[in-house]
A and B are shown apart, each in its own frame.
Chain A
Amino acid sequence: AQSVTQLGSHVSVSEGALVLLRCNYSSSVPPYLFWYVQYPNQGLQLLLKYTSAATLVKGINGFEAEFKKSETSFHLTKPSAHMSDAAEYFCAVRKSSGNTPLVFGKGTRLSVIA
């Protein structure tokens, strides 16, 4: 079965500082990995995805994530936080083949301090 663990339910950074949101996955087969963002009172929006191509994936709004098989990690980073980045971030995994659903982590709330 697939699962993801997001370390830290709440991360707080200063505006302009590095954003690092951690995600570790567990999968019995090669996974596809995703980061979604949820702004207050809105649905989820795809930030970026890893689907077995390049291990460093660039997404929207300056975010990127690196798939590290040896560490079973897919951490999300952004060099410089902006106030508008404050939101809930979800890591998700699913099998790279077959008809299986997305499995989401418990989310990490990012606060950006002025």
Chain B
Amino acid sequence: QQPVQSPQAVILREGEDAVINCSSSKALYSVHWYRQKHGEAPVFLMILLKGGEQMRHEKISASFNEKKQQSSLYLTASQLSYSGTYFCGTPEINNAGNMLTFGGGTRLMVKP
């Protein structure tokens, strides 16, 4: 099943903070986060692993609550370059590896 992201869209002023959430109806052992700028390919930000530490990418950090099957992305002191659509991806495991199911995305716009 597709993970659910919220909010669907956020508009910020430069320097403001935002939180993007990702929830799954199934048990998770990891969550991936990607950012896609307009007209470009999604780019990997970070992976949160079960039992792992909170991760950071520049001033973007993320947490993973295994019990709640949720992950949150924290964008602190947002910069213009943070604008884009953020996707969480959750893995489906089979015998031979894994593939990601992505959420619908959260569109973030940072204004000067």
Same complex for A and B? Answer no
Contact surface of B with A, Cβ cutoff 8 Å: none
